[in-house]
Every structure is written in structure tokens, then in C-alpha cells.
Structure 1
Amino acid sequence: MAAIDVLMITYQRPDYVRRSLPHLLESCTEDMRVWLWHNGTDADTLNVVRSYVDHPKVARFHHSPENLRLRAPTNWLWAESDADLLSKVDDDCLPDTDWAARLARAHEDVDEFGVIGSWRFYDEDFLPDVAQRKIRGFPGGHQLLENFWVQGSGYLMKRACVEQQGLLAPGQSFTAYCIDLALKGWVNGWYFPFIHEEHMDDPRSPNSLLRTDDDLHDQLPLSAQHSGVATLQQWEEQMRRSARRLQEASVEPRDYRNLRRTLRSAWWRVQRRLEGRKMQSRPR
């Protein structure tokens, strides 16, 4: 089987990491290794991570006292790993134990697969009448719910994708990276029937620490911050809307070429604005 390297980035979630890291290590196949990157100085989380550094499945460990978020650690793995397949599993996620083996088999059988992933939503979120048009069959009996991108956890990506497209660029999200790959001809999507990834920040997860509105306020997930939710009910509704939008999303390349140009233009406008502020703030 192909070699697989998986990145886990940890930050300030010790209770989640106590579940997610050993779960990931236990799911490792014979040819699979885990790379650990800890952002920040949270002592509890760092102690949990350090307790696994000598595990036989841990290949590398890096501690960044500064929170460098996602791009730097992702590029660390992509640039320094020599594995055939690359992945990231978030520290608040628990993929099915056979997730990597199943996705690796699909990659071996289908050359055109680029980024294929686990599905973090629930049976009640699947809308057959909406999604059916996007479910495609491939050689070897494999099926995908095709989409131009998947979430940045519980996926497997061919190293050839990075060799063709390079590392994550400044300001480039994993979503945008996947879209660019799809526009180059790679096929992305969620393996179907779904391989589940439990997202513990979904209040429906049995392992979620979000049980009250106060919990949500104290541990507001990044995606919840972006969407402006204020209550657990709103957050759960947001999860359901996200699942629906993914099933409704277009798989027509023309719909994304314009989007890519729009996103790129917006990025450069932000950069010019920041540069202008720097110029104004310089002493004369």
C-alpha cells in the first residue's frame, strides 16, 4: 500500500486532543505516519502532545510558540514528506478507524483522484434528491460525491498534486487550493457511501464539549466566528446548511474560473490596502 503521512495541528484543545490524537494513532495502517505540529504555548495541550512524541507512528514533532495557524504547518508536511499520499486530521476530529485504508485503495485504483475525503456530517444531513446528480462511479467499484473541494481534515491527497501545483500560497485557503486542482483536471470529493469523520465541535457529536450557549461562547470554533452564530441552536443549523450547500455546489468548471479570479483580485486588493497602511505609518 502507498505510504501516507498525516498532519495534526494542535492549539488550545487539550480535552479534544486527549481523544483525537490516540484515535488517529490507533487508526494508522502499516505504511502510515503522523506529523505533529503544536501552535502556541498552552501547557496542557502541549503536555498531551509531548506524551505521544515517542510513539512508533509519530514521524516528526514541531513546536511553534507563535500561533502560525494552518499554512506554515501544512507546507511543512507537504515540503518535507516523501509519502505518496498526504493528509491532515484536525485535533477536534475522529475519522472512522479504516478511513485511510479505504481512501488509499481508491487512490491506487483511480489515477484521476486528487483530494478525496471523509464526510463530517450526519445521515440526516444527506439529501439524496439533491446530491444524486454529483455521485459518480469510477473503476474498481469506487464512488464519489464529487465536489471541487473537501474540508481540510480526514482527506487523502496525492503527492502528485503538490508536485504539480506547489505549496499553499500566502492567503490561499485549502478550499481554494482544491478548486485550483479541480480546474487542472483532478477529481475531488467525498468517498461514497460516506466514510464518517466525527467533528467534535458539532453539538450533535457525543464527544462535543459544546453543551450550552456559554460553552459555545467560551470555546467558539473558528468557523462559528466567521458565520456570526451566537447560540448552539444556530450553530447546529449552520452545520445543516453547510451540508446542504456542499451537496448543491456546482461541479461545472466555468462556475469556478470566475470565482478564482474574483478571489485572487480580492486578495491583491487587501494586500495593496495593507501596504498603503504601512506606508502611512512609516516615520517621515
Structure 2
Amino acid sequence: MTIELVFITYQRLEYTKLALASVLADPTEEFSLTIWDNASTDGTPAYLRNEVSDPRIADIVLSKENVGQTAAVNEVWGRSKADLLGKLDNDCIVTPGWTRTLAQAHRDIEPLGVVACWHFFSDDFDYDRARHKIQTFGSHRIFRHPWTCGTGLLIKKTDFQDFGPIPGQATTQYWLRMAAAGRINGFYYPLIYQEHMDDPKSRHCLMHGAGSFERYREVTFGLCAGRYHDMDSRMTLRREVVRNLLEDPFAPQYYLGWRRKMRSLRARASRLLSWPRARRTGSGRR
């Protein structure tokens, strides 16, 4: 099966150099690569133009404006003739050869939807907590979840044609819609790792103190989307994402309709009850 990858960059040239080197590390890995830069101003365009060379690079798009990730993905995937489509971000270091394993899984598992590399660390994975979600399909095993991360992944071109362009600025709801339609989504198992350099556990992470969070606010998706604002909230979110991946059901129905609303109400009630009494009653000092 032929593979087309889109590698998206925006600022953080340090990340781009490491991530792109990992993508191209194995010269025998077969794919076509489009590099799309979203109007970086930190020297990335010059680096891509003058220092990057590989026969697998089909195109380097230097966008004059930041169109966002999904617009770039939709453009490249929409015109692709490949059997499999992949997305890569410039903040993740992939394991060389990852496309071979995921492509073989797609070849052998007809209803396989999105399958991805694991974007956390080995010590974040707990087999005993996750075993209820690991299923065997022929010679392959998939650690199932209705959505995956948005990078280091492959989907079938036919699925992209069936479900249409990715709306909004994130892929989660798109993957969830695929799962609800019967696709098998998840992470390949045994896990294939990709190092997310924005993860505080990464030795390459650029965000540590308060100043760095502010500096990269417009560059990092989680900050931009308001999902966290400092290291404490970043680690709280991280723990919850890992817990959800390991423990919660992979059935898409769990995350849709009235079940999702009930869980949201229970979570809200729990947060209210956990607040200090003075804050709930308004009787505390101002």
C-alpha cells in the first residue's frame, strides 16, 4: 500500500530539526512526504528550502499565512493518490520504520480506522490497566480507543473520502465519528513510541517556567486552546488523558449522547463538592 505523509511545521525550529530527522532516518522506509510550513518566522522556511533534501520529499509548501493544521492536512490528503494517509507534527520524534508496521496492519485489518504511535512514555503505560482494551486481529494487536493523538498515525484514503475533510482545528471528534461508524481505532500494540517534545517529561521540552508558557502560547495547541496554562494544569491534564486512554471504555457510545452528558454532570457536581465550604457559600473573606 502506498503512503503519503504530511509533516506540518510552525515555529520552534529546534523541534523541526529533530522531528524531521527522525521521519527521514530510515532511507529504506517507503513513503511520499509533503512538508507544510505555516508561515514560520524563526528561520524554518530557509532551513527547509536550503538544508533539507531527500528523494521521498514530494513537495515543500511555504504557506504565506498560518492556515492551521487541519486545513493543511485536508489540502494534502485531498489531492493524494496514496492508499494510506499520515500526519506528522514537528514536535514529535517518531520511531524509524513506524509506517511499515502500521501499513501492514491496515493491509490485514479491513475495518482499521486510525492507528497511531503512542505519544507518551513507556512508564506511562500500565498493561494491567489497559489489557481490557487490547484486542487481537489476526497477527496484529490494537490497543483500542475511539480516538488517538493527532500525529504519527495512518488512515485509509478511502476513509478520508467517506468521512470528508477534517472540520475545526482538531482530530478527536473526527476519529470519534469514524469509531461510531464501526472503524477500529487505537494504538498499535506492542506500542510504537513517538516522543512528544512538548511533554514535560521530554528532555527536549521548551516549556518549563511561567515565561516559557507565555512565550509559546500562540505556538502550542494545548495552550492556544486553553486546555492548560501552567505546569500544574499541564500535568493535571496529562494525568487525566493517560487515565482515560488506559481505563475508560473504547466503545464510542460511552463518549456520545446522554451517557456523556451524565458523566459531565457528575464531574461538575464532584468539583463543586470538593471546593472549600467558604467558597461555595460565599461566606469567606474577600
For residue 280 of structure 1, what is the aligned residue in structure 2?
A: none
2:195 pairs with one of 198, 207, 210: 198
The code of the aligned residue for 1:16 comes to Y
> Deviation string for 1:252-278 (max 9, x for gaps)?
24334428999xxxxxxxxxxxxxxxx
1:189 pairs with one of 186, 191, 197: 186
2:155 pairs with one of 157, 160, 174: 157
**1:139 shift after superposition:** 0.7
Task: Answer yes or no: is the 8 Å Cα contact 2:29–2:99 preserved in 1.
Answer: no
Gaps of 5+ in 1: 263-284
The code of the aligned residue for 1:117 comes to A
Task: Answer yes or no: is the 8 Å Cα contact 2:222–2:228 preserved in 1.
Answer: no
For residue 131 of structure 2, what is the aligned residue in structure 1?
A: 132
**1:92 shift after superposition:** 0.6
For residue 179 of structure 1, what is the aligned residue in structure 2?
A: 176
Alignment of 1:79-158 (within 5 A): 79-140=78-139, 142-158=140-156
**1:40 shift after superposition:** 1.5
Q: Tell me the TM-score normalised to structure 1 length.
A: 0.83
- CA distance in structure 2 between the aligned counterparts of 1:26 and 1:260, rounded to whole angstroms: 45
- CA distance in structure 2 between the aligned counterparts of 1:213 and 1:139, rounded to whole angstroms: 49
- CA distance in structure 1 between the aligned counterparts of 2:42 and 2:128, rounded to whole angstroms: 48
- CA distance in structure 2 between the aligned counterparts of 1:39 and 1:158, rounded to whole angstroms: 25
- CA distance in structure 2 between the aligned counterparts of 1:249 and 1:144, rounded to whole angstroms: 15
- CA distance in structure 1 between the aligned counterparts of 2:97 and 2:188, rounded to whole angstroms: 13
Deviates more, 1:36-45 or 1:76-85: 36-45
The code of the aligned residue for 1:160 comes to T
**1:233 shift after superposition:** 4.6
Gaps of 5+ in 2: 262-286
- CA distance in structure 1 between the aligned counterparts of 2:254 and 2:200, rounded to whole angstroms: 33
Q: Tell me the TM-score normalised to structure 2 length.
A: 0.82
Cα 1:82–1:260 shift into 2, 3 Å: farther
User: Percent sequence identity over matched residues?
Assistant: 32
- CA distance in structure 2 between the aligned counterparts of 1:186 and 1:230, rounded to whole angstroms: 34
For residue 44 of structure 1, what is the aligned residue in structure 2?
A: 43
**1:18 shift after superposition:** 1.4
**1:39 shift after superposition:** 0.8
- CA distance in structure 2 between the aligned counterparts of 1:259 and 1:58, rounded to whole angstroms: 46
The code of the aligned residue for 1:168 comes to I
Q: Describe the SS at the equivalent of 1:26.
A: coil
For residue 30 of structure 2, what is the aligned residue in structure 1?
A: 31
User: Is 1:224 aligned to residue 203 of structure 2?
Assistant: no
- CA distance in structure 2 between the aligned counterparts of 1:241 and 1:261, rounded to whole angstroms: 16
Cα 1:109–1:228 shift into 2, 3 Å: closer
Alignment of 1:49-68 (within 5 A): 49-51=48-50, 54-68=53-67
Task: Answer yes or no: is the 8 Å Cα contact 2:114–2:186 preserved in 1.
Answer: yes
**1:7 shift after superposition:** 0.6
**1:153 shift after superposition:** 0.2
**1:61 shift after superposition:** 1.9
Cα 1:164–1:228 shift into 2, 3 Å: closer
